[in-house]
Homo-oligomer: A and B are copies of this chain.
Amino acid sequence: MQLRMTNQREIILRELINSQRHLTADELYDIVKKIMPRISLATVYRNLEILSGAKIIGKLEISGRQKRFDYNPSEHDHIYCVVCHRVDNLEMAHKGLSTEEFGAVVGYAVTGYRLEIVGVCPECQRMKDNKEK
């Protein structure tokens, strides 16, 4: 199955990048609808899923209910506002700073952080090994 560059996919991608923000599917839908009024929300969802699967954009599954999509697909950390729920990027260039210093760089008043290491647990490694035999 190969990717086709449809009109709607192109506009969705372009508007996400132009926004320079971490939009939810429906925020992006509102923007794209102004350009292509007959587009459906389902199309936006489908394309965001496909584009993040292809590593063309990033997907954020953190900080609350709605997924947000990141115009920048490369690895980097995020900073989240508990009041308005916006998410900003943190450049890896500042690695080694404390969370407070990290926040200060982008003007945030830091109250905490969430760290989740991701991987495969011992049980699932074992199951995988068994399958490969």
Binds B, one of A4-12, A31-39, A46-54, A118-126: A118-126
Residues of B within 8 A of A65 (CB): 61
Residues of B within 8 A of A64 (CB): 61
Instruction: Indicate whether A108 reaches chain B with its CB closer than 8 angstroms.
Output: yes
Q: Quick one: copies of this chain in the complex?
A: 2
Are B115 and A113 in contact, CB atoms less than 8 angstroms apart? yes
CB < 8 Å neighbour of A110 from B61, B117, B123, B124: B117
Cα-based distance from A99 to B116 in the complex (angstroms): 10
Which residues in B have their C-beta under 8 angstroms from that of A86?
121
A residues near B (Cβ < 8 Å) are 61-65, 75, 77-84, 86-88, 90, 99, 102-103, 106-125, 127-128
